[in-house]
Amino acid sequence: MEIYFLFSSISFLQYYIPIVIECQKKKYKTIFIVRKNEKNYANPLYKKNWKILKKYTKKFNITIKKDNEIKFKKLNNIIFMVDGDIYGPNRERCIKESLLSKIKSKCLKVSIQEHLNFKWNYEAYIDKVDICVFPSKYYATEYNKISPKNLYLGNTKYDYIPNETEIYRKYGLNSKDKHILIFFPKKKFRKHLPIKRKELEKI
């Protein structure tokens, strides 16, 4: 069985990898259908992002296919996507770029949420998908995005957490030292903090 993933942003890796791991436990073949994104920082085909994508597809044995290699009318089984494959708030252009509209076959189309992007594009895709996975019912209620298609199952990006060894290696940390992680706010908010950076460094 083949499971497909519409891949239009490098940021989708964190949402898809946990699903890929579960699919492969069941011996399903996983295929990323990659398309161009106009925003370079997100574009999976951008040189730096392509290198990242290749690293993870090799590690998790994922097949990559570009969107022009796919016969969308013949796709079947299950297709995962993020926010209906509509990336960004410029609805008219982003809806046109989405691969969701090309899928005419009878397959199960599952959309998952990235951040709060659903606020501006939910109505554009909810009629075209079969299932829409929310982190919780709170978000759907808070932003009036209620549908019988909604499922409240959590967020997949928290399902794949690297172990200690991977974290030490990734950030070049000495495992014998003690470390603390501080979530420091963006620069524009720092002037309102009662504690200064130099004081934090002393910790």
Q: What is the mean pLDDT of residues 43-53?
A: 92
Best CA proximity match to 80, nearest among 37, 35, 111: 111
In sequence order, the β-bridge partners of residue 79 are 4, 109
Output the pLDDT for position 149: 93
Output the pLDDT for position 191: 61
Cα–Cα separations (whole angstroms), residue 67 to 2, 16, 33, 71? 16, 17, 6, 9
Query: Where residue 96 falls among pLDDT bands split at 50, 70, 90?
Result: confident
- pLDDT tens digits along 146-192: 999 999 988 887 777 778 888 888 889 998 898 887 776 666 555 66
| Pairing, β 131-134 against β 108-112 | parallel
CB 112 within 8 A of CB 156: yes
Structure tokens, 195: 């504690």
pTM of the shown model: 0.78
Does residue 196 carry a pLDDT above 80?
no
Output the pLDDT for position 184: 65
Query: Where residue 94 falls among pLDDT bands split at 50, 70, 90?
Result: confident
Output the pLDDT for position 4: 94
- pLDDT tens digits along 103-137: 877 889 999 988 878 888 888 889 899 999 998 89
Work out the mean pLDDT of the chain and round it to a whole number: 85
Does residue 64 carry a pLDDT above 90?
yes
